[in-house]
């Protein structure tokens, strides 16, 4: 049975105007290319993992999809409707179907509201005529789903641990019964054992509610565990997109190969003998990115053509579901 395509992003670009200290009022601001020409599709029940180093545009991409930051160009098609072309009032009806879980669990919760009010807030915002008894019943239901006891409903965020605060954030996202949840590094502020609990909770909820997830993270082992397919970003550009197993077993782009080589292997004998690929140098400035291939300044395979011609993002020779942007991909 083929799954429904719920989200289709086409050639999405996000630029920010940046002024330097000391610029005159009439000086034209510089363009910072945060997200450059990103395209992908997501079906119901799938998880898209997005990885890349800090500053590569992962969170900006997520925020652009839900119109938290303005997009310069491109389309975000939600069930066939282009969200970017809609007004704020027209977008509102689709907002309840797309929810977000944020990186810092405590900072994303209002300290002056108890958790019952925090979880119920989206329901009261989108369905203001809902009876109070129904609201309380829905709050109790989602709290049970995420493993929170009903007797905690009148407590405040500062009384909870980081893992419990993230569960509150997940409950708040679930109360509207969305079709897509965007998880913006939801486990990076948590310790390892709590990370596993939160990731497994998301996977269980996904199966139960047929959710689609966009999961942003730095930890490649976490992304492998939860994702159906993985997108690798570098300096706002897609460098590789493939199914989870394919990208781990057969990484084609030099940047992806370096990231995968850095993931620890539990077997000490294999870990000791594996080849570590080092990425030298610093991330270039997104205000003035390198010509041609953006990764060429740090790539061990770079040749003259890489500085002249930007590689086309196309299907790999090894698989139709594996796309890569490199002149010399394996």
Same domain flag for 79 and 212: yes
Rg of the chain (C-alpha set): 21
- Of 230, 238, 229, 217, the C-alpha closest to 313 is 238
Same domain, 275 and 165: no
Q: Please give the pLDDT value at position 330.
A: 66
Q: What's the CA gap between 262 and 312, in Å, rounded?
A: 26
On whether both 226 and 306 belong to a single domain, the answer is yes
Task: Give how far Cα 101 sits from Cα of 31, 142, 189, 232, 283, Å.
Answer: 29, 15, 13, 20, 27
Q: Distance between CA atoms of 94 and 83, rounded to whole angstroms?
A: 8
pLDDT of amino acid 261:
87
CATH number of the domain at 254, please: 3.40.50.300
103 located within any domain: no
On whether both 142 and 40 belong to a single domain, the answer is no
- Please tell me whether residues 320 and 193 are part of one structural domain: yes
Q: Are residues 172 and 273 in the same domain?
A: no
The per-residue pLDDT for range 34-47, each reduced to its tens digit, is 999 999 999 999 99
Give yes or no: residues 128 and 49 share one domain: no
* Cβ atoms of 244 and 232 closer than 8 Å: no
Per the structure, how many domains does the chain have?
2
CA pair distance 205, 167, nearest whole angstrom: 12
pTM of the model: 0.90
Q: Taking the CA of residue 289 as centre, how many other CA atoms within 13 Å lie in the half-sphere pointing to its CB? A: 21
- 221 and 171 share one domain: no
pLDDT per residue as tens digits for the range 77-88: 999 899 999 888
Order across the sheet with 30-43: list the strands: 30-43, 5-18, 73-78, 81-82
- In terms of domains, do 90 and 189 share one? yes
Q: 203: domain range?
A: 5-20+29-97+178-324
Q: Is residue 329 part of a domain?
A: no
What pLDDT is recorded for position 317?
A: 66
* Residue ranges, the chain, pLDDT below 50: 1
Q: How many CB atoms lie within 10 A of CB 258?
A: 19
Regarding whether 312 and 254 lie in a shared domain, the answer is yes
Whether residues 194 and 297 fall in one domain: yes
Whether the CA torsion 53, 234, 315, 262 is positive or negative: it is negative
- The residues, any chain, with a CB within 8 Å of residue 233's CB and separated by 6 or more, are 38, 50, 51, 52, 56, 57, 58, 61, 239
172, 186: one domain? no
């Amino acid at each position: 049975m083929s799954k429904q395509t719920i989200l289709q992003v086409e050639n999405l670009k996000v630029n920010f105007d940046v002024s330097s200290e000391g610029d005159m009022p009439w000086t034209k601001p510089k363009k910072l290319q945060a997200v450059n020409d990103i395209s992908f599709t997501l079906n119901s029940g799938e998880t898209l993992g997005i990885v890349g180093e800090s500053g590569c545009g992962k969170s900006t991409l997520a925020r652009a999809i839900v119109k938290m930051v303005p997009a310069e160009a491109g389309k975000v098609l939600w069930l066939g409707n282009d969200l970017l072309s809609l007004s704020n009032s027209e977008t509102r009806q689709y907002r309840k179907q797309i929810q977000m879980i944020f990186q810092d669990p405590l900072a994303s919760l209002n300290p002056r509201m108890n958790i019952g009010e925090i979880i119920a807030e989206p329901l009261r915002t989108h369905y203001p005529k809902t009876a109070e008894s129904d609201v309380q019943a829905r709050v109790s239901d989602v709290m049970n789903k995420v493993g929170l006891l009903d007797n905690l409903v009148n407590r405040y965020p500062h009384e909870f641990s980081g893992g419990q605060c993230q569960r509150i954030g997940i409950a708040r996202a679930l109360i509207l019964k969305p079709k897509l949840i965007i998880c913006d590094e939801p486990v990076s502020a948590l310790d390892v054992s709590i990370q596993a609990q939160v990731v497994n909770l998301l996977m269980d909820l996904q199966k139960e509610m047929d959710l689609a997830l966009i999961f942003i993270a730095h930890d490649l082992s976490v992304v492998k565990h939860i994702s159906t397919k993985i997108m690798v970003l570098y300096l706002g550009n897609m460098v590789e997109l493939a199914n989870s197993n394919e990208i781990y077993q057969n990484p084609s782009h030099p940047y992806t190969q370096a990231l995968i080589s850095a993931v620890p292997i539990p077997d000490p004998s294999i870990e000791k003998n594996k080849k570590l690929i080092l990425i030298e140098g610093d991330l270039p400035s997104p205000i003035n990115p390198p010509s041609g291939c953006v990764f060429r300044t740090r790539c061990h395979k770079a040749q003259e053509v890489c500085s002249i011609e930007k590689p086309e993002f196309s299907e790999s020779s090894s698989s139709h579901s594996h796309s890569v942007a490199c002149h010399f991909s394996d």
